[in-house]
Each structure stands twice: as C-alpha cells, then as structure tokens.
Copies of this chain bind each other. A is one copy, B any other.
Amino acid sequence: MGLKLAGDSILSQGLQRIQREIDDAFDSLLPVPEDNSARLVEAMRYAAIGGGKRVRPMLVATVAEMYGASRASAVYAGCALEAIHVYSLIHDDLPCMDDDDLRHGKATLHKEFDEATAVLAGDSLHDLAFEILGGRKVSEDPFVRAELVHALASASGHKGMAGGQMMDIVAETEGKDFDLHTITRLQQLKTGALLGAAVEMGAIIGKVPEEGRGHLRAYARDIGLAFQIADDLLDEEGDEEKAGKALRKDADMGKATFVSLMGVEDARAQAHALAQQAIGHLAQHGKEADLLRALATFIVERDR
C-alpha cells in the first residue's frame, strides 16, 4: 500500500485485514452477468475493488467488535458504507464536478469507461449499499438493519455528505469568502458525516444504547476534522505520485482551506491536538480500542 506506517503494526495489520475483507465482499457481491449490463458491473468492480484505504469499514468493524458483535456482520455493514464512499468519489471525479483524471493511482472511472457508465456505476453502488443493509446477511435483527439504513442514508444525503459537497461547489463558484467557521461546518458534512456514520453503524451493530454513544461520536468528530486538516496539508505539501491524485487544486483555484486560513504551522498543530483529543475520548476503553487510537495518530501523520 505504500502507507507511512513504520512502527505501527497494529494499524498496518488492521488495515490490511479489512482491505482483504472488503475486496472479497465486493468480489462476491458483484459477479459479472452474461448480458448487456456486464459493462455496468465491470465498472462497479473497477471502482470498488482494490485501492482504497478502507478506513471507514475498519471503524465500523472495530467499534462493533469492541461491543462484542460478530466481525462478519460488521464487515458487511462496512462494505455498504464503503460502497457509498466509492460512489461519491466516482461522481465527485466527473467532469461537471471536480473533473479529475486520477484516483488511487489509476484512471478515474469516466476516463477508463465513459461518463454515462460512471454516473450509472455510481448510482448502482449507491443502491448496493442499501441492498446490503436491507438484506438478512448483515444482521438477523430487522431493527439493526433498519437503523443501519437510516444512519447511512441520513449521513450521505442532503443533510450530510451531499450537502457538504454542495457547499463546496458554492464556495468554488462564489470565490474565497468562506471563513473558518463555514469551512469547518462544510467539512464536518462533506467528510465528517460518513466518518460519523462509520462509528454510528459500529455502535448499532454492537447494540450500544443511544446514551452510550456520546464518546464515540466525539471521537468521530475529532478524527473527521483532523483528517480534513491533514488532507489540506497534504494538498499543500504532498507528493502527487504517492497521493495517486492531482494535488494543489484548491490553492490554484484560490479556494479557502484550513491551511490558507490558519497557515501551515497552526493547521498542523490543530490536527495533532484534535488527534490527541480524539484519543482522550476513548479513555473508558482498554486495548480493544487500540486500533482507533492508532488510526487517530495515523490520520495526521500519513503521507497520502
């Protein structure tokens, strides 16, 4: 994977494990049919299998296991969440959106296939997510299935991720007027909502009562913001080859980011403070939460 994980074997092993599990899940969920819709499934497979860090599914699985849930159930729910993440990247990369040619070091879907196929493959992964969560394989308990659906749909729709993307587009269209408060709100929706959903879905599978989820939500909020500040730092200072995508697009467009608003040093300090704060929220947990702690640290220290 080329991730910067020296001396951090817990996280490295945790990510490699979930990467295998998610690739296997997508592979078995998406057999290529022998009809004229084969192209659609091939496109879904191209985008969904291999490449991603699978941070969100790892969060689902780790939280679920912390509360004694079965790994198989959590991996399957994590696969649904990852399908939403992948669909959002496909649509984000379209010419009418960010117009990107490169993703995870390979051609974006509309470049490898075509725009119409990319729109449809994104839409179909969007459906796949809810087909997984509505089906019995994710949980025998229909209440768990319905709660998972509601958590994920709320996080990805207009009050969550898509709402954040719209704010981002408005920011691009209307110039760089956004202040730190607005950028924070935008990013809490755009990337934070799905990270929050990851932890929420783990808690649902682990049957954690509503009132016992506060510290998990606080952890997710902090790593979400730390993740985005780190992303802005990478966009400013990173290596395009390692990142596997075009960098410095925001700066070139004169768009406000955490780095442009806070400066590199303050942004870096803030990201590290958030990671420490996230780890602080896990104080009630023992070593079963070590993967979450390692992830918080990794998020601000990664080089891609």
Contact = CB atoms under 8 A, between A and B. Distances in A.
Interface stretch (A10-18, A125-133, A223-231): A125-133
Given A36-B170, A149-B149, 13 more contacts: A33-B159, A36-B166, A37-B170, A44-B158, A123-B123, A123-B126, A124-B163, A126-B127, A127-B154, A128-B153, A130-B149, A130-B150, A134-B152
A186 B36 contact: yes
Interface string A85-121: 0011001001011000000000000000011110110
A35 B119 contact: no
A263 interface: no
Interface stretch (A138-146, A242-250, A268-276, A286-294): A138-146
Interface in A146-166: 146-154, 156-159, 162-166
A119 B41 CA distance: 20
Contacts of A148: 134
Contacts of A150: 130-131, 134-135
Given A36-B182, A149-B149, A124 B158 contact: yes
Nearest to A158: B124
Interface of A: 30, 33, 35-37, 39-41, 44, 87-88, 91, 94, 96-97, 114-117, 119-120, 122-124, 126-131, 133-135, 142-143, 145-154, 156-159, 162-167, 169-171, 182, 185-186, 189
Given A149-B134, A150-B134, A157-B127, A117 B169 contact: yes
B170 A39 contact: yes
B91 A166 contact: no
Nearest to A119: B91
Nearest to A132: B153
A140 to B, nearest CB: 11
Interface of A is mostly: helix
A61 B157 CA distance: 25
23 contacts: A37-B167, A37-B170, A88-B123, A91-B119, A91-B120, A94-B119, A96-B119, A97-B119, A117-B166, A120-B162, A120-B169, A122-B123, A126-B126, A127-B157, A130-B130, A134-B147, A134-B148, A134-B153, A142-B146, A145-B146, A145-B149, A146-B149, A149-B149
A151 B130 CA distance: 10
A51 B145 CA distance: 34
A221 B166 CA distance: 38
Contact of A163 (B40, B143, B164, B166): B40
A120 to B, nearest CB: 5
A180 to B, nearest CB: 15
Nearest to A182: B36
Contacts of A186: 36
